[in-house]
Amino acid sequence: MYAEYELIDKIDSGIIILDSGFEIIFWNAWMENKSGINRENTKGKKLNSLFSSEISSRLVDSIMLAINNGQSSILSDRFNKDLLPLMKDLSSNEIIDQKIKVSRVRTTNNLKHCLIQVFDVTTANQRESYLSQQNKIVKEQIKEIEHSNKLASLGRMASGIVHEINNPVAIIKGYDMAYEIMRKRGQFDQDKIDDMMKKIQQMADRISNIIKGLKIIAHKDTYEFNQLVPIKNIIDESIELSKPKIETTNVIVESDSIHLNYEIWCDPIQISQIIINLISNSIDAISEYPNPWIYISVKTNDKFYEIRVMDCGKGIPPHIVTQIFDPFYTSKKVGKGTGLGLSISQKIAEAHKGELYVDTNAPNTTFVLRLIQSKYWGNT
């Protein structure tokens, strides 16, 4: 076999062995090199008498624990700075970053000794702080890209806003002119004026709705997720609330039988808004079709529930799918939609840690609202 201690002398980390009286009986070459203390000067000495500065009390406690109770400890660099005054190099006073493991070892004649292993983690530390810096830079770059994407969508949005607000403004101006003519001619028809005022009121409401929608998109509104609600109830209620619109068309709206125990933590009014919006969009798209239908179902998928709103349409063309969630994007006839519904719905879904997207693989037009199952809500 090898000469006493030769093997551990060659190990590339610090090794110290103490006897049961806390006195040093071995100090390897690595320790000599990093501490500048020769092995001969350590024999029979206590660890804290070797250094002029104090050694960490956590280390002292761990040594006691190992010798007296046989318990092993790890002292990480993150929680413990400067455990032992070991220098990075002879020219500087910088202490190396270290991790220390302390455990009990027994001699062949059953004496309880303490093994202290010291690891230099300086390089690992530098590497990590470099990586974490790089990570930060990459994240910032991603943010910038996202921002420029937002600007692009803002461009599309601006033309939408102009269009959406111009229309009602033009109508209001028109009525103002009509009133001016009436005034000049001295012909006041009260019924006509009432009718005009009503229409001006409607146009003003329209503008204020657009602005309200913009506000939701611009900053996250606060939601109350404090209700545990069965999805079934939300869907039933949404269909009920959509009845006035459904009944003006031939569209048949049906839902699958949905388990009452499919529950989510949510702001139910907001989730219902999304579904009403999806139903309403579908109706606008398919009401002219022969035998139009909308079918709502719920599936579980991993930790989520997927609410699928499908209609008899044949899907959305791929080049449009990427735009439909942009604010002010609309395929509807002028005056029929503001183009804010889907982008507001998406915001609400995201605020619920969920998603709203188009299932492009489905044979029919299908929107999927993905929400976290209540039992996983707290884990995200």
Partner 1 sequence: MITLNDEQLDLLKEVFNLGVGKAAASLSQLASNKYEVVLTLPKVQLITIEEMVKILEIESNNKITCVSQKYSGPFNGTAHMIYSHMASLRLVSLMLDSKVPEDMISELESDALMEIGNVLINACLSALSKMLNEEIETDLPQIISGPPLAVFKRTNPNLNEQVTFIRSEFTIKEENLKGYISLFLETGKLTKLLELIDKYNKELMGL
Q: Given the rule CB under 8 A, which residues bind partner 1?
A: 65, 69-79, 99, 101, 103-104, 121, 124-125, 128, 131-132, 135, 139, 303, 375-376, 379-380
Tokens standing for 217? 């998109």
Q: How far is the CB of 138 from partner 1 (least distance, A)?
A: 11
Q: Determine contact, residues 5/27, Cβ cutoff 8 Å.
A: no
Q: Which is nearer to partner 1, 141 or 248 (CB)?
A: 141
Q: How far is the CB of 74 from partner 1 (least distance, A)?
A: 5
Q: How far is the CB of 307 from partner 1 (least distance, A)?
A: 22
Q: Which is nearer to partner 1, 65 or 193 (CB)?
A: 65
CA distance 328 to 191: 35
23: helix, coil or strand?
Answer: strand
Number of CB atoms found within 10 A of residue 313's CB? 16
Q: How far is the CB of 61 from partner 1 (least distance, A)?
A: 10
Q: Which is nearer to partner 1, 71 or 159 (CB)?
A: 71
CA distance 344 to 333: 20
Q: Which is nearer to partner 1, 112 or 156 (CB)?
A: 112
Tokens standing for 362? 């489905």
Q: How far is the CB of 27 from partner 1 (least distance, A)?
A: 21
Tokens 């492009």 locate to 360
Residue 357 CB contacts under 8 Å (≥ 6 apart), including other chains: 367, 368, 370
Q: Determine contact, residues 264/274, Cβ cutoff 8 Å.
A: no
Q: Which is nearer to partner 1, 97 or 326 (CB)?
A: 97
Tokens standing for 271? 């989730």
Q: Which is nearer to partner 1, 303 or 336 (CB)?
A: 303
Q: How far is the CB of 208 from partner 1 (least distance, A)?
A: 38
Widest Cα–Cα separation across the chain: 122
Name the pairing type of β-strands 112-120 and 98-106.
antiparallel
Residue 88 identity (one-letter amino acid):
K
